[in-house]
């Protein structure tokens, strides 16, 4: 492995391209991977070159492009490329390519490399809805997933013709984040992603709530939603089903996540209350407003032009503490396991760590992920956290990318999940 843990920087990534029109979007994915510091090799199927030619892949990846096992025989390319990869991403994967993968064909460089590799494999299918929903394809996808391959759900929307439905290639940004989640994930014995959340249902809140003061203004916070998103991507590659309560997040939906958009703390509270009884775990990564306007003004609040000193008094009231409420609502049931987040700066003679310990005991969640924001993390790619249990004792630490932090949180969560999955 050449890559640093938790990052695509320096990783050797093999990008396989199937023969679908969506191959043009893969050019953006390759750019994104190269931009993240990866050393990318592209292995297109011969038929895919009808859509995007070798020159494009060579220019973007800075490597010669091979398609057949009979090229560069002296260097045994069909074995070496698969052996050397730290990660394989296939986009788009056609129904035919999924079928060939499932039965273990090795009739071109890409499929031969897939038999050789011991790296995580992320597959982004794209095809017409009828082909995606065909029993053969569904069966192939199920078998590939059981083997530890991450097959992303296609996006729903307009397809090549006038039709629309599930079958669109997810946006390159979303595939890139899934790739990041896969390369950072814990591994199974064959080097693939460990699917320790298969059969589990997670509810994750992300982003920051907005509390309207009047029709044009609101109280908000700096949360970007990136930590919640990283958790969603990480949980999905580990096999979970994810419901993502997104408070004002402008990021591409992780492929396969059920996105539940909300605005205010009250809306988030409603969505969490509606879903928390149907999941194995609740992760509250959202930054929730503690106060909202006592009375939202129906019309824009005006300044009094005649008096330069006049300032409106905006009365606030407390919002529901969703995390605390969820812990109380659970009562003695083991479900859902509950994870909170705490961003602390310290003050009043107490350190940030001390305040986090107090908060862990007060909130009563199974885990509290604490970060010291004295140095600032909002919107940043990296994070450093201490994970506390409900007594406020440290159980783990994690530093690095938000993806690495996400996997560390899931590592602790997975051993605290209820014995019987909600879906059982």
Least CB distance from residue 285 to ligand CTP, whole Å? Answer: 7
User: Considering beta carbons, is residue 169 or 272 the nearer one to ligand CTP?
Assistant: 272
Least CB distance from residue 7 to ligand CTP, whole Å? Answer: 26
**Residue 128's CB: how many other CB atoms inside 10 A?**
17
Decide if residue 290 touches ligand CTP (CB under 6 A).
yes
Backbone angles phi, psi at 398, to 5 degrees: -145, 145
User: Considering beta carbons, is residue 13 or 355 the nearer one to ligand CTP?
Assistant: 355
- Tell me the Cα Rg of the chain: 24
Least CB distance from residue 298 to ligand CTP, whole Å? Answer: 25
**Binding flags for ligand CTP, 236-265, as an x/- string (CB under 6 A):** -----------------------------x
Decide if residue 282 touches ligand CTP (CB under 6 A).
no
User: Considering beta carbons, is residue 129 or 291 the nearer one to ligand CTP?
Assistant: 291
Least CB distance from residue 371 to ligand CTP, whole Å? Answer: 10
- Of positions 170, 225, 340, 400, contacts ligand CTP by CB under 6 A: 340
* CB 18 within 8 Å of CB 93: yes
Catalytic residues: 221
Span of 187-195, 283-291, 301-309, 414-422 interacting with ligand CTP by CB under 6 A: 283-291
- Coil vs helix vs strand at 200: coil
Binding to ligand CTP in span 302-331, by CB under 6 A: 319-323
Least CB distance from residue 373 to ligand CTP, whole Å? Answer: 10
- Of positions 178, 288, 367, 414, contacts ligand CTP by CB under 6 A: 288
Nearest Cα residue to 20 out of 138, 115, 131, 116:
131
Span of 137-145, 299-307, 340-348, 407-415 interacting with ligand CTP by CB under 6 A: 340-348
> What does each C-alpha distance from 420 to 23, 157, 416, 423 come to in angstroms?
41, 35, 11, 8
CA–CA gap between residue 301 and residue 296 (Å, rounded): 10
Span of 138-146, 170-178, 189-197, 281-289 interacting with ligand CTP by CB under 6 A: 281-289
Span of 85-93, 302-310, 338-346, 371-379 interacting with ligand CTP by CB under 6 A: 338-346
Decide if residue 151 touches ligand CTP (CB under 6 A).
no
Span of 56-64, 79-87, 136-144, 335-343 interacting with ligand CTP by CB under 6 A: 335-343
Q: Specify the length of the chain in residues.
A: 424
Pairing of strands 155-158, 164-168: antiparallel
Chain mean position to CA 289? 23
Q: Total binding residues for ligand CTP by CB under 6 A?
A: 14
> What does each C-alpha distance from 11 to 3, 25, 66, 305 come to in angstroms?
4, 21, 20, 61
CA–CA gap between residue 319 and residue 293 (Å, rounded): 9
Burial group, residue 275, by CB count within 10 angstroms (0-12, 13-18, 19+): middle
Least CB distance from residue 169 to ligand CTP, whole Å? Answer: 33
Chain mean position to CA 277? 22
Give me the sign of the Cα torsion angle 363, 405, 220, 344: positive
Residues of this chain that bind ligand CTP (CB under 6 A): 265, 284, 286, 288, 290, 319-323, 340-343
């Amino acid at each position: 492995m050449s890559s640093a843990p938790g990052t695509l920087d320096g990783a050797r990534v093999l990008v396989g391209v199937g023969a679908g029109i969506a191959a043009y979007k893969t050019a953006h994915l390759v750019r994104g991977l190269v931009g993240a510091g990866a050393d990318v090799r592209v292995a297109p199927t011969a038929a895919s070159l009808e859509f995007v030619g070798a020159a494009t892949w060579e220019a973007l990846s800075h490597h010669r492009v091979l398609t057949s096992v009979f090229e560069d025989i002296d260097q045994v390319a069909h074995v070496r490329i698969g052996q050397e990869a730290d990660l394989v991403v296939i986009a788009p994967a056609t129904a035919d390519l999924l079928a060939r993968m499932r039965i273990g064909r090795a009739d071109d460089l890409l499929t031969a490399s897939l038999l050789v590799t011991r790296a995580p494999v992320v597959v982004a299918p794209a095809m017409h809805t009828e082909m995606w929903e065909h029993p053969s394809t569904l069966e192939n996808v199920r078998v590939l997933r059981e083997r530890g391959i991450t097959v992303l759900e296609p996006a729903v929307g307009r397809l090549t013709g006038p039709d629309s439905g599930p079958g669109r290639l997810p946006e390159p940004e979303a595939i890139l984040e899934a790739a990041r989640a896969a390369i950072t994930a814990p591994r199974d014995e064959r080097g693939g992603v460990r699917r320790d959340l298969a059969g589990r249902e997670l509810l994750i809140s992300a982003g920051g709530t907005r509390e309207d003061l009047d029709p044009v203004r609101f109280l908000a916070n700096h949360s970007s939603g990136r930590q919640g998103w990283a958790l969603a991507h990480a949980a999905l590659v580990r096999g979970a089903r994810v419901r993502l309560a997104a408070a004002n997040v402008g990021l591409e939906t992780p492929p396969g996540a059920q996105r539940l958009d909300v605005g205010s703390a009250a809306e988030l509270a409603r969505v969490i209350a509606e879903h928390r009884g149907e999941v194995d775990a609740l992760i509250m990564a959202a930054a929730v407003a503690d106060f909202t306007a006592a009375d939202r003004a129906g019309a824009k609040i005006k300044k009094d032009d005649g008096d330069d000193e006049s300032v409106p008094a905006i009365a606030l009231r407390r919002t529901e503490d969703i995390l605390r409420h969820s812990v109380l609502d659970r009562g003695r049931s083991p479900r859902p396991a509950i994870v909170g987040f705490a961003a602390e700066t310290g003050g009043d003679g107490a350190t940030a760590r001390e305040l986090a310990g107090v908060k862990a005991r007060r909130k009563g969640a199974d885990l509290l992920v604490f970060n010291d924001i004295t140095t600032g993390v909002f919107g940043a790619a990296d994070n450093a956290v201490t994970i506390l249990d409900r007594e406020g004792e440290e159980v783990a630490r994690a530093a690095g990318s938000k993806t690495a932090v996400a996997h560390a949180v899931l590592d602790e969560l997975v051993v605290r999940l209820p014995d019987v999955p909600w879906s059982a």
